[in-house]
Structure 1
Amino acid sequence: MSQVVYRKLQEQLDQYSVGYPTTESGIEIKILERLFKEKEAEIFLQMSLSPESSIAIAARAGSTPSQIDTLLDEMYRKGLVFRHAKDGDVKYGAVPFIEGIWEYQVKSMDRELAQLFEDYVQENLHENVTNTSPLLIHRPIAINQTIDISFPVLTYESSRKIVQNQKLIVVTDCICRVQKGLIEKGCDKPLETCFMFGTPAKYFIDRSIGRQVSIDEAFHILDVCEKAGLVTMPLNTQKPANLCNCCSDCCIVLNNLKRFSSPANMVKAKYRAVVDPEKCENCDACVERCPMDALFRDVTDSISTNQDKCIGCGLCVNGCPVAAIHLEVRPKAEPYEPPKTGLDFYKEVAQMRGKNLTPLALVSVTR
């Protein structure tokens, strides 16, 4: 029975976000068995992405609220479901594996789980994070102070504007660098670099897996991230619920983008890096700093840019000691407007992947 439940859970999680695909090794089931008890998996199958009361969930599960309240609370504490509490009204919702369950393990992950995830990524999961291009779960944007002020910069294209518009800001550790560090494949980049906003931020506070910061402290953290050579990557929406600062050593999105010949096209990059040969001193600082290996020495021993690989992050610009690089709008850049909200993102990705956000248990009932 247990294998059937976990397979159904895998199929349910595969409906959401970038999905949760099957593998030949079956490692996806091993991860679920590690995270979920069988009863927890059964309850998750009855849950919707939209938070509901335990009464509604119990009715679908053929149980009573008193029987599952304790179970739902334990699942929340383990980071397996979302919980929203306001004025004594508590609601629970299902969450994707990415972003969701995986990120919620940021303070509890151990080496065994980190290695299971690594093996899963390498076997199959890496393909899912880019096969919805350009609706990648995170979208790289140019770092602060690298864009010509004459260019119109929309709110969702500016890390400072994104942060400044938030009433509640929480910072937590980068799940990717935590995971890689546990298996001794990490890097020396800053760890506490990922921001959550609004309701998701409150979840991180309530579970003590993040800490609240002011706008000024958030700006300081962004400065540290940019100096360290991290790519600013908000959730791919116009109203992002989170904003990550990523390295190509550990980040599953950036790391996978490097496998392709044209990451710029995949992320619909608006900007490109241009090197001024008159100013360039060929110090290789930009080559070492570029997360996509887009800058290189050409046949004339000068620094050039592979425009297909350049994602317009701007790290080379603020890392150049002689100001020999600038960003410019790509001449034939196609306008790209991300989905407005996280739910819109999930709906569009589900449609693109031929999936349905309705719990499979309910789909089966209505057929």
Structure 2
Amino acid sequence: MERVKEKKRGNGGRLIYLLTKSPRKVTIPDNAVQGENAMEEQNVYQRLADHLSQVGLGYPIRETLLEILRENFNPSEAEIALALPTGVIPFSTVGVSEIGTRVAMPPEELESVLERLAEKGLLYVGPTSTGERGYALLQVGFGFPQTFFWKGEDTPHARKMALLVAKYFNREVTSEAYGSRSKQYRYIPVGKAIQPDLQAVFPVQLMEQVITQARRIAVAHCPCRVSYRLVGRGCEHPTEVCLKFDELADFVIDRGLARELTQEEALDVIRVTEDAGLVHFVDNAEGEIKHNCNCCGCACWNVGNIRRRKIPRDAIMATYFMRETDSNECLGCGACATICPVAAVQMKDGLPIIDQDWCIGCGVCATVCPTEAVVLKGREDPIGVKPAATFRELHQRILEEK
């Protein structure tokens, strides 16, 4: 029977001695060793993609996702990321001691790798339930792919990520990522569009209410418009209008991804977005809002796809209002049709006709109506899902639906 004895060669190859009655030497070439290493590296990225698909707001697995992971994680960093838990809601952190139970690495070295990943914008950092420094995987819409673009920088890496992210988030991936039964986000109308009597009934549908309830506020650049410009496409809408609240604000401020605002400054941002005809959306919860985007039909992942009729509105967003027209007040000027972010208003015989299948109830048209003929009415969710009471409740629902 042959026995095998292995000895490393100085040039990185291996000598294999087959020990028989007459020992003979077989050389495993360097390219074979390199091939094994390449297969191991490919395997760790596939495992990481599988792992990330299991977080609450998971990453749909595609070859382009593997490209993004290879560009941002080295193999040892990918192994560390595999040690972070998945079946959790956004911002659920664990400390070094808990992560260390899943990976064979001294605590000091492990913490150094985690901090490096956080510095690269690849992990969320925040306190654990016991108050120690903790780490969590980014989830779709809550850091991925936004950390590449929140700073608004034009760098070679940002340009490369913009191309890969545009390739990755096609209509199928976008629908899969945001298509849970309980929608992650809801449109929130422009304040002027909600009549005073409805404002009393729907206070959670006002951006002013969201802002005044926040403990801390930050403003970042819109990742959709930043990445859109980085790939050479045009959009003239303002970019530094993406508001973050509370834990998410803590994260983006502490990591240098955004700047802190006062409540009055945040209200000024909202006024700027409404003047620019942008659409507000927030987390699909009544309280504990973490995230507000102000979207355009040019570049944004939801409004843009709806405007181009690529993804049905109700497949990716919650819409709780619908536009109607007071025909007695309407002058037929057509200003609402011109500004509609999703092209859901057409003029016919001097009056606006609203496409109820595509209107998102954003109220942007109300900002240009000279006679207040635009009326927003409450709309029931088509499958009966209501906004969750809190951010935590919303994401527990989404986890249960996976």
What range describes the TM-score normalised by the shorter chain of this pair? 0.7 to 0.9
Structure 1 residue 170: Cα displacement? 0.7
TM-score calculated relative to the size of structure 1 = 0.87
1:209 corresponding residue in structure 2: 257
1:126 corresponds to which residue? 174
The amino acid that maps onto 1:229 is: G
CA 331–79 in structure 1, closer or farther in 2 if over 3 Å, else same = closer
Distance in 1 between the 2:315 and 2:354 partners? 15
Go from structure 1 to structure 2 and tell me whether the alpha carbon gap of 1:75 and 1:265 turns closer, same or farther (over 3 Å shift): closer
Q: Residues 123 and 245 from structure 1, CA distance in 2 versus in 1: closer, same or farther, beyond 3 angstroms?
A: closer
For 2:193, the equivalent position in structure 1 comes to 146
Q: CA deviation at 1:85?
A: 5.2
Q: Does 1:10 align with 2:49?
A: yes
Q: CA deviation at 1:265?
A: 8.2
Change (3 A) 1:83 1:261: closer
Contact kept, 8 Å, 1:169 with 1:214, in 2: the verdict is yes
Q: Given that residues 16 and 346 in structure 1 are in contact (C-alpha distance below 8 angstroms), is that contact kept between their aligned partners in structure 2?
A: no
Aligned match of 2:148: 105
Identity of aligned residues (%): 27
From the superposition, tell whether residues 122 and 268 of structure 1 become closer, same or farther in structure 2 (CA, over 3 Å): closer
Aligned to 1:281: 331
Question: Do the aligned partners of residues 54 and 186 (structure 1) sit closer, same or farther apart at CA in structure 2, a change above 3 Å counting?
Answer: farther
Q: Does 1:81 align with 2:151?
A: no
- Pairs within 5 Å for 1:168-247: 168-238=216-286, 239-247=288-296
Secondary structure, aligned partner of 1:339: coil
Deviations 1:28-55 (A, max 9, x none): 1101111211111111111125312212
Worse-superposed segment, 332-341 or 217-226: 332-341
1:118 to partner: Cα distance: 0.5
Partners of 2:47 and 2:225 in 1: how far apart? 30
Cα separation, partners in 2 of 1:84 and 1:313, compared to 1, 3 Å: same
**1:166-205: CA deviations, max 9, x gaps?**
1211111111111111012241111111111112211111
Deviation, 1:136, is: 2.7
Structure 1 residue 308: deviation in Å? 1.9
2:341 aligns with 291
How far does the alpha carbon of each residue in 1:314-342 deviate from its partner, in whole angstroms, 9 at most, with x for none? Answer: 10111223333221234898864323444
Q: Conserved in 1, the CA contact under 8 Å of 2:171 and 2:311? A: no
Listed as ranges, the gaps of 5+ residues in structure 1 are 354-367
Map of 2:356 onto structure 1: 307
Classify 1:340/1:103 alpha carbon distance in 2 versus 1 (closer, same or farther; 3 Å): farther
2:76 corresponds to: 39
Counterpart amino acid of residue 348 in structure 1: R
> Which has a greater percent of strand?
2
What is the one-letter code of the residue matched to 1:167? R
Conservation of the 8 A alpha-carbon contact between 2:56 and 2:139 = yes
Find 1:251's aligned residue among 297, 300, 321: 300
* More relative contact order, 1 or 2 (CA 8 Å, 6+ apart): 1
Q: Secondary structure at the match of 1:114?
A: helix
Partner SS, residue 54 of structure 2: coil
Confirm or deny: 8 A CA contact 2:186 2:318 kept in the other structure: no
Name the SS of the counterpart of 1:192 in structure 2.
coil
49-58 or 149-158, which deviates more: 149-158
Query: Aligned partners of 1:181 and 1:37: how far apart in 2?
Result: 28
Structure 1 residue identity aligned to 2:371: V
Number of aligned positions between the proteins:
349
Where structure 2 has 5 or more consecutive residues not aligned to the other structure, the ranges are: 1-39
Please report the RMSD computed on the Cα atoms of aligned residues, expressed in angstroms.
2.5
Shift of 1:218: 0.6
Structure whose alpha-carbon radius of gyration is higher: 2
Distance 1:38 1:332 in 2: 44
Question: Is 2:114 aligned against 1:72?
Answer: yes
Secondary structure of the residue aligned to 1:145 is helix
Q: Residue 52 of structure 1: which of 63, 88, 94 is its match?
A: 94
Q: Give the AA of the match of 1:29.
A: L
55 and 330 in structure 1: CA distance in 2 versus 1, 3 angstrom threshold: closer
Structure 1 window deviating more from structure 2 (98-107 vs 194-203): it is 98-107
How far has the Cα of 1:73 moved from its partner?
A: 0.6
Q: Structure 2 CA distance, aligned partners of 1:261 and 1:37?
A: 35
Look up the SS of the partner of 2:377 in the other structure: strand
Instruction: Give secondary structure in 1 for the equivalent of 2:241.
Output: strand
Per the alignment, do residues 17 and 289 of structure 1 end up closer, same or farther by CA in structure 2, a change over 3 Å counting? farther
The equivalent of 1:28 in structure 2 is 65
